[in-house]
Amino acid sequence: MPTSTIQAATVAEANQKLYINRADGFIGTSLKKDEFVCNCSDIDDVIIFYKDGTYKITKVADKIFVGETEKSKKEKRKVEIIHIAVFKKNDVRTIYNVCYKDGASGATFIKRFNIPSLTRDKEYDLTTGSPKSRITWFSSNSNGEAEVIRVTLKPQEKLRKLVFEKDFSEIAIKGRSSRGNLVTKFDIFRIQLKARGGSTLGGRKVWWDADIQRINYDEHGVLLGEFHNEDSILVVLQNGDFYISNFDVNNHYEQNILRIEKYNPKKVWTAVLWDADNQNLPYIKRFFMDATAKKQNFLGENEESRLILLTDTYYPRLLVEYNDPNVARPSEEIDADEFIGIKGFKAKGKRLTVFPLGSVTELEPLRQPEPEMLEPSDEEEEPEQIIDPDEGKSDSDIRDELTGQLKLF
């Protein structure tokens, strides 16, 4: 395929917005008054999962009815859409974590699977296919994340243990048609999220394609690095704005990007700027860029301030040359680390020189930091714990709560 064709297809990925009308069962790019789903293109397929366990992919359209399945028509009951997203062919890293109740046996099963390919508009079933089967837990995880769930059973006279946990990281990823592992033969009252987990697939390599201003997982452009669930992308714009984003390939990025890279909270930045609040005099500052999705600006609040130089060299050396009437003044070498300390990005900084500035050029550093000063912490992140309303309650307490029994003491 010619390069121009590949790029045109990639650019078209997000030129539309997909909406859903859950009440009437329609999805499409023309339903602008309804619930927004995601960015898409008119050449995309979307994958749809239903509460009855069926799923399919269909092509993006202006408006298309998806509010029923063959199973729901046979059972003569309304079906609920529980998940819809752009379908990425050959994607083996998006993992679906599911629990479902089998309509025939009443037992609940747990499974993990990916979906690298499907036939368009053909219905599939992630359950055993029995009538009245239904999904009781569902999550879609773009980097193979695995949560912990808390299962509460309906009270029965001979049932001793009402509450237990299931960790999806302990469930093997198998084919989408596998039955899964047995969770319980008893009726489930509810399933709750206990803790969000990290990826079970390791890091994911992310590339930046400057020609189309998009990130990808397909080795197009410059490698930004290997990303884990907790990692972010740092975006620095030419006007001094900066922010972090996740590494979703559907992200939009501006045209005026100065730097884009894997975010490292330990990285020290040095900026030289014309400070509009101080008669456009040259200032220098050293700082860390905060981890914030909201745009911040290291040049200050005055939009007239202009960037002269930005470097992430830990111990930068700067060659300062002068302008008229001091053009004959010898140039100076400034060690930025000795000239100014590291402060917050909102700090004004320090005036670089009292003489008219001609230019500032970065020189090769004469010293390097220790490796541990540059590398972000590689400690494994603890799963995010969710506030559990049943924490500290005994099975007896929960049983009484569910059956409406009152305690005298």
What phi and psi, each to the nearest 5 degrees, are found at residue 59?
A: -75, 145
Please tell me whether residues 17 and 138 are part of one structural domain: yes
Give the number of residues written for the chain.
409
129 burial level (CB within 10 Å; 0-12, 13-18, 19+): middle
Please, which residues bridge with residue 56 across strands? 48
Distances in Å between the alpha carbon of 161 and those of 67, 99, 385? 39, 19, 23
Place of tokens 């860029």: 289
How does pLDDT run across 299-342, given as a tens digit for each residue?
Answer: 999 999 999 999 999 999 999 998 877 667 888 999 999 999 99
Domain assignment present for 291: yes
Helices (H) and strands (E) in the chain, counts: 5, 32
- How many domains would you assign to the chain? 2
Query: For the segment 129-141, what is each residue's pLDDT rounded down to a tens digit?
Result: 999 999 999 999 9
Domain boundary among 196, 226, 254: 196
**3-state DSSP call for residue 235?**
strand
In a domain, 245, yes or no: no
Cβ proximity of 80 and 43 under 8 Å? no
- Tell whether 115 is covered by a domain: yes
Closest CA to 230 of 387, 376, 47: 376
191 and 277 assigned to the same domain: no
286 in a domain, yes or no?
Answer: yes
pTM (global) more than 0.95 = no
Q: Kindly provide the b/e burial profile for residues 182-219, where b requires at least 16 CB atoms within 10 angstroms of the residue's own CB.
A: ebbebebeebeebbbbbbbbeebebbbbeebebbbeee
pLDDT in tens, 335-346: 999 999 999 999
Q: Are 15 and 126 contained in the same domain?
A: yes
Structural domain including 308 reads 264-374
Residue that terminates a domain, selected from 166, 196, 226: 196
- 405 lies in a domain? no
Residue ending a domain, choose from 196, 224, 250: 196
- Asked if residue 282 has pLDDT above 90, the reply is yes
Are 62 and 153 within one domain? yes
HSE of 228, CA atoms in CB hemisphere, 13 A: 13
The domain spanning residue 136 has which CATH number?
2.120.10.90
Q: Based on the domain organization, do 59 and 170 belong to the same domain?
A: yes
Whether 399 maps to a domain, the answer reads: no
Q: Are residues 75 and 158 in the same domain?
A: yes
pLDDT confidence of residue 169: 94
Q: Is residue 273 domain-shared with residue 191, that is, in the same domain?
A: no
Arithmetic mean of pLDDT, 280-296:
94
Q: Is the pLDDT of residue 146 over 90?
A: yes
Dist. CA 151–CA 193, nearest whole Å: 9
Same domain membership, residue 284 and residue 188: no
Give the C-alpha separation, 177 to 128, whole Å. 8
